[in-house]
Amino acid sequence: MPPSEPMIIFDGVEKRFGDHVVLRDLDFTVAPGEHVCLIGPSGSGKTTILRLLMTLEKVDAGTIRVGGECLSHMERDGAMVPADEKYCRTVRKRIGMVFQQFNLFPNMTVRGNLIEAPTRVLGLSKDEANVRAAELLELVGLSDKIDAHPTQLSGGQQQRVAIARALAMRPEVLLLDEVTSALDPELVAGVLNLLRDLGASTDITFLCVTHEMGFARDFSDRVLMFDAGRVIEDAAPATLFTAPDHQRTKDFLHAVIDRT
């Protein structure tokens, strides 16, 4: 991938669920190492963008490229056809995702959650994967929980483990889908601080959907404001939060910031 090429490219992407158009003719790019937050009202298509990148959904039109590779389509006999499951699996290894509901595997310990994909997918030995797991748990401050089961952890702890699990795959892109929305209020700050530290200490490209405006403001290089499946404003946080262009953005920020 040439150094100047964006890490993520959405080109004319459209996504429909039945008759409902969730994303229409969406274009945007994210540079390598950039931190981008997606904000906007519920149902504006933010989460769908992350799900398309994780190949949990398929595009109806347009293309998505990640790290120089096409994610939505593959080449077959000289023509571009929609990507199949096998192709998706190779490309999405570069992408990690953390979910609102954590989605840890409850049938495994914390250690099992952390070494599962590195051993099964990346082919690491058990020892290598265990070393990596221990390092990551230290990073997220849960070294003492390595043999715990997810159900024994608080929501905040589960989300830290989920972040460590995603990092264990050494992703180039990390997708964060409202990762603090399901947490008790007093646990939110800990997770957000962990993400701030990660953002400062790694060169991972972050794409986050969030309702935490304070976090969006100090974590991101750029903020995209969504409404009805379109980006209506794309600006540095300093600009977007203090002097938004659009009335819709102003209304949204008023509503969200007044609430908190």
Q: Binding other proteins by CB under 8 A: which of 68, 106, 141, 214?
A: 106
By CB under 8 A, tell whether 17 contacts other proteins: no
By CB under 8 A, tell whether 115 contacts other proteins: no
Smallest distance, other proteins to C-beta of residue 47, A = 12
By CB under 8 A, tell whether 126 contacts other proteins: no
Q: Which residue's entry shows tokens 């904000």? A: 39
By CB under 8 A, tell whether 109 contacts other proteins: no
By CB under 8 A, tell whether 166 contacts other proteins: yes
CA atoms of 110 and 164, how far apart (whole Å):
10
By CB under 8 A, tell whether 194 contacts other proteins: no
Buried b (16+ CB within 10 A) or exposed e, 139-161: bbebeebbeebbeebebbbbbbb
Smallest distance, other proteins to C-beta of residue 41, A = 23
By CB under 8 A, tell whether 157 contacts other proteins: no
Give the nearer residue to other proteins in terms of CB position, either 122 or 189.
122
Which two three-digit tokens encode residue 214? 């304070």
CA atoms of 149 and 109, how far apart (whole Å):
4
Which two three-digit tokens encode residue 252? 């949204």
Which two three-digit tokens encode residue 137? 């748990």
By CB under 8 A, tell whether 52 contacts other proteins: no
CA atoms lying within 13 Å on the CB side of residue 100: 10
Q: How many CB atoms lie within 10 A of CB 257?
A: 11
Smallest distance, other proteins to C-beta of residue 190, A = 21
Which two three-digit tokens encode residue 136? 């990551």
By CB under 8 A, tell whether 207 contacts other proteins: no
DSSP notation for 232-255: EEEE-HHHHHHS-S-HHHHHHHHH
CA atoms of 48 and 231, how far apart (whole Å):
13
Closest CA to 196 of 171, 172, 184, 179: 179
- Give the interface segment with other proteins, choosing from 8-16, 33-41, 101-109, 226-234 (CB under 8 A): 101-109
Contact 150, 165 (CB under 8 A): no
Q: How many residues bind other proteins (CB under 8 A)?
A: 25
- Give the interface segment with other proteins, choosing from 113-121, 185-193, 194-202, 232-240 (CB under 8 A): 113-121
Q: Binding other proteins by CB under 8 A: which of 7, 9, 104, 173?
A: 104
- Give the interface segment with other proteins, choosing from 106-114, 137-145, 220-228, 244-252 (CB under 8 A): 106-114
Residues lying near other proteins in the complex (CB under 8 A) are found at 54-56, 85, 89, 92-93, 95-97, 99, 101, 103-108, 116-117, 120-121, 165-166, 169
